[in-house]
Amino acid sequence: MKITIIGGGASGMMAAITAAAAGAHVEILEGGPLLGKKILSTGNGRCNLTNIALDTSLYQGSAAKMAAALIKEFPPRDTIAFFEKIGIPTVTAASARGNDSWVYPACKEASAVRKALELECERLGVAILTEHRVETIRKIEKEFLITTREGIQYQADRVILSTGGKALPKSGSDGSGYELAASFGHSLVPPLPALGALISDSSLCSALAGIRADAAVSLIVNRSVTAEEYGEIQYTDYGLSGIPVFQVSSRAVRALTEGKQVMLRLDLIPDVKMNDLFLKLSERKIRRGLHESGTLLLGLVPDKMVPTLLKLAGIRLHIPCSEINRDALMKLAYTLKNLEFEINDAKDFDACQVTSGGIPASEVSLNLESLKVRGLYFAGEILDVDGPCGGYNLQWAWTSGYKAGSEAAR
């Protein structure tokens, strides 16, 4: 049995290792110069490879239920055991709310994860052909004929398409896999950038650019709260970035493409209720008396935010605290808990982490085989499923690679 894997990223390498371990003759055709180039960029170079508190209900897309079912077969504990086996012990690290569930290699080096996968492919005799970008695949009777950009042809009994989505195209995943799937009659849920920064025309952006601070984030679509997150916000001159923004970005982008109104509302002091915050500010006003109005917010928010927040509440910067009236104090408390940004757009595929959209679940069986052509399997981000930050997308790559590899080798 000869299996050709098109795309040697996270899911492709996992598929190769699984299929080769099951006894198949495996070959990877990778378009770029290196297997798993994108892995190097993951987790800020540290590779958040899974999550021990993974909640499968957080996956989105038509294949979300399929992903949830398959992750039961190859869950995060299997990922951890697999990496331990290939020489990469793991550790957990705290996420924004402090729960220790995000899993990283103990050495905190994504390059070690990439290298260990490559070494395991080599150990199992997988033929690795880099700089082999596939341009066409045809099936003639029982055999697949694969042609690369250079016109070289390869034959395979089974093919696994693991070409990724469109995120970070410089890593090699430029969406060409969708065209290969389309040549077999597959359709496509339009790919959109996900886990990326959001763009806002609000004048607040330039005023707050460069600041990083924790906040609770609500995504508001057509005036209804549709998602909530917490963590460090990065204020930029074009809009908002940071993990909590990434987490809601996929929903925001879908809503924008549907012509809906999208807002992000930030609560800068989420642990204190509105009334209590007003009382706290009132106490501070008395305590700070003749000191400047800005001292009211000392220690509550980053210093650089203070002028903008006071301005929004209609409080002049240099007046004494004692001159701030009750209404202005109320408005300040409200502003601290309701800093709103209208969202106009999102950063594109060059600057996002994953793709939402892809090959729909209705065209793939639960063993990840195409329902259009026998012997063609899918793994990874090419399918219409995406997860939040926290190891969800790599876990899907490992699970789907494992499943496609073992089924194709059957």
Ligand X SMILES: Cc1cc2nc3c(=O)[nH]c(=O)nc-3n(C[C@H](O)[C@H](O)[C@H](O)COP(=O)(O)OP(=O)(O)OC[C@H]3O[C@@H](n4cnc5c(N)ncnc54)[C@H](O)[C@@H]3O)c2cc1C
Helix, strand, or coil here: 82? Answer: helix
Question: Encoding tokens for residue 2?
Answer: 């000869």
Closest contact distance (angstroms) between CB of 114 and ligand X is 10
* Chain position carrying tokens 């009236």: 325
CA distance 193 to 102: 23
* Segment near ligand X (CB under 6 A); pick from 55-63, 90-98, 317-325, 393-401: 393-401
Residue 394 as a binder of ligand X (CB under 6 A): the answer is yes
Residue 245 as a binder of ligand X (CB under 6 A): the answer is no
* Segment near ligand X (CB under 6 A); pick from 33-41, 90-98, 151-159, 211-219: 33-41
Closest contact distance (angstroms) between CB of 340 and ligand X is 28
Residue 29 vs 269, nearer CB to ligand X: 29
Residue 147 vs 338, nearer CB to ligand X: 147
- Contact with ligand X (CB under 6 A): which of 172, 294, 358, 388? 172
- Contact with ligand X (CB under 6 A): which of 193, 242, 380, 405? 380
Residue 357 as a binder of ligand X (CB under 6 A): the answer is no
Residue 32 as a binder of ligand X (CB under 6 A): the answer is yes
Residue 241 as a binder of ligand X (CB under 6 A): the answer is no
Residue 391 as a binder of ligand X (CB under 6 A): the answer is yes
CA angle, residues 13, 18, 23, in degrees to nearest 5 = 125
Question: Which residues are paired to 367 by β-bridges?
Answer: none
* Segment near ligand X (CB under 6 A); pick from 31-39, 121-129, 219-227, 306-314: 31-39
Q: Helices 274-288 and 326-337: crossing angle, nearest 10°?
A: 130
CA distance 241 to 223: 21
- Contact with ligand X (CB under 6 A): which of 176, 202, 241, 356? 176
Residue 37 as a binder of ligand X (CB under 6 A): the answer is yes
Residue 80 as a binder of ligand X (CB under 6 A): the answer is no
Residue 41 as a binder of ligand X (CB under 6 A): the answer is yes
Q: Which helix (H) or strand (E) holds 43?
A: none
Residues 356, 392, 129, 378: is their CA dihedral positive or negative? negative
Question: What are the CA-CA distances from residue 110 to residues 7, 31, 34, 37 (Å)?
Answer: 19, 20, 14, 10
Alpha helices by DSSP H, listed for 260-299, are: 274-288
Binding to ligand X (CB under 6 A): which residues in 104-133? 133
* Segment near ligand X (CB under 6 A); pick from 40-48, 217-225, 261-269, 312-320: 40-48
Question: Which residues are paired to 216 by β-bridges?
Answer: 230, 267
Residue 295 as a binder of ligand X (CB under 6 A): the answer is no
Q: Give 7: exposed, middle or buried? Use CB within 10 Å, 0-12, 13-18, 19+.
A: buried
Number of residues written out for the chain? 410
- Contact with ligand X (CB under 6 A): which of 3, 4, 7, 66? 7
Residue 167 as a binder of ligand X (CB under 6 A): the answer is yes
Closest contact distance (angstroms) between CB of 406 and ligand X is 16
Number of chain residues interacting with ligand X (CB under 6 A)? 39
Residue 11 as a binder of ligand X (CB under 6 A): the answer is yes
Residue 250 as a binder of ligand X (CB under 6 A): the answer is no
**CB 29 within 8 Å of CB 160:** no
CA distance 42 to 44: 5
**CB 144 within 8 Å of CB 155:** yes
Question: What are the CA-CA distances from residue 194 to residues 73, 327, 349, 387 (Å)?
Answer: 26, 40, 8, 9
- Contact with ligand X (CB under 6 A): which of 5, 117, 134, 385? 134
The footprint of ligand X (CB under 6 A) covers 6-12, 29-32, 37-38, 41-43, 47-48, 133-134, 162-164, 167-168, 171-173, 176-177, 353-354, 380-381, 391-394, 397
